[in-house]
Amino acid sequence: MVIVGAGLAGLTVALHLADQVPVIVLAKRGLGESATAWAQGGIVGVLGSDDSIESHVRDTQDAGAGLVDETTARFIAERSAQAVEWLVRQGVPFTPDDSGPLGLHLTREGGHAVRRIAHAADATGKAIHDQLLAAAHAHPNIELRERWMALDLITSRHVQREEASRCYGIYALDIDARRVEALAAQAVVMATGGAGKVYRYTTNPDTSTGDGIAMAWRAGCRVANMEFIQFHPTCLYHPQERSFLITEALRGEGGHLKLPEHLGGGRFMADHDERMELAPRDIVARAIDFEMKKHGLDHVWLDATHLGEAFLKEHFPTIHARCLLLGIDIAKQPIPVVPAVHFTCGGVVTDLQGCSDLPGLYAVGETTYTGLHGANRLASNSLLECVVLGQTCADHILRQPQPDRAPLPAWDESQVEDADEQVVISHNWDELRLLMWNYVGIVRTTKRLERALHRIDLLRGEIDDYYSNFRVTRDLLELRNLVDCAELIVRSALLRHESRGLHFSRDYPRTLPVSFPTVLIADRPR
């Protein structure tokens, strides 16, 4: 088995497979560099006596603005307690509370009716990732490969078989050795995360370049809902920290969004939603964007000073310490914040076992569209999805019969040479991310989207020409994947003639009474 990605989704699948089959896990950078490790808030668990499956499903549907698949939401909510319990058994050091269910402290985040978020202070993702990575390192059946990047899937057309297409493995680049290897696999699992780096400003790590989405799309798989790119409302606004997230839980515990003093310094969320700071992320992000544009601001303020220094240090030690290093004492002064791209709500179409359209290819986590997130993801549902569907994916793989093996063709570099300069890659990377930020942001218009698509087509031509003539590098492969994801986002946005959830169009400001996922089907595998 080959798993592409070493975050929570990939490690969950690996740990559930490894007792029975050998597993290779590829990480294109260091093993510790994943979106999971950056997650601050926590993981949903329907655990408390004041909570219920119905309440969690309802909150997920409300956040998803009418596009959540209820069957998916219920399936995952019903397994949320089991998911948290599994992480506890793995040794994840969640913040304790002797009076809480499972002895855990539960916090509340925007869009949730009750406290149901298990967390490890304000660094939950890192606590989970560190523990599962240690377990994977210790397992004799798991091989962890750092600085290995998947290029493309090996399918029936590569092995020249006249059959319904299936996946036989992947081509992967050993970055340090500068060689491409064909890796055969009974199953390939894409757990590469989202595509946040297609935008100039994002809370995502450098690994989030949409690799799994792009590879599956090129292999002929459907993708869905790519227009729904979640902007987290509160990213720290500071020249030295452009990707530092200020967790949803800070507002969940009572933080207030405010205008600057010269505009009165008052709270503004009441003008946008009755839930105020606890409204879902899409509403809060648009509200901040509106106030910034209305008043010509670079940022707004998130004020938590009234919560007290002791409380902030206990519950948000990472944020407190990081901000203090930058000269911001959050116990005494508000935090400057702006929205930034945070989560890709669409992706590769899969079922609840992670199966894609291509037999032998699975996908789990942010890489996928399962129907859970709809038009907007509810806070802390992302880690939950990784654990629940990571287990069901592994279970499905183990139930499948061994496919016929086929000799895999070696990667052909006979017609290419080393690139003489890298400026084309860096220039196109910067141009792509800037045009996506300016034309395909929180508020969109048809004219902006059409302009973006035209420029993406031109960039694709340059990138494909470069790819055809020079040996592959990680930067080139990531750029190739990002331009594919950019096209999918824009094409999906052009197809949605309404405003819903994370997609807001000035040309179509109304929400239609009935709506469906935006599904794109590849003309042919590439």
Gap between the Cα atoms of 495 and 493, Å rounded: 5
Q: Please, are residues 280 and 111 in contact by the beta-carbon 8 Å criterion? A: yes
SS3 121: coil
Identify the burial level of 103 via C-beta atoms within 10 angstroms of its C-beta, where 0-12 means exposed, 13-18 middle and 19 or more buried: exposed
* Alpha-carbon 263 to chain mean position: 35
Q: Please, are residues 446 and 494 in contact by the beta-carbon 8 Å criterion? A: yes
Q: What count of other Cβ atoms lies within 10 Å of the Cβ of residue 100? A: 16
Gap between the Cα atoms of 493 and 521, Å rounded: 15
Residue type, 147: R
Positive or negative CA dihedral for 273, 278, 283, 289? positive
Q: What is the CA radius of gyration of the chain?
A: 22
Q: How many CA atoms lie within 13 A of 325 on its CB side?
A: 9
Instruction: Compute the residue count for the chain.
Output: 526
Phi, psi for 28 (deg, rounded to 5): -75, -15
Residue type, 76: I
Place of tokens 């400026």: 423
Residue 225: C-alpha distances to residues 285, 452, 453 (Å): 19, 18, 17
- Selecting among 79, 218, 251, 281, the annotated active-site residue is 281
User: What six digits make up the tokens of 80?
Assistant: 């949320």
Gap between the Cα atoms of 375 and 378, Å rounded: 10
Gap between the Cα atoms of 316 and 192, Å rounded: 28
Residue 42: C-alpha distances to residues 115, 119, 184, 449 (Å): 11, 4, 36, 34
281 included as an active-site residue: yes
Place of tokens 């592959």: 472
Active site residue ranges: 281
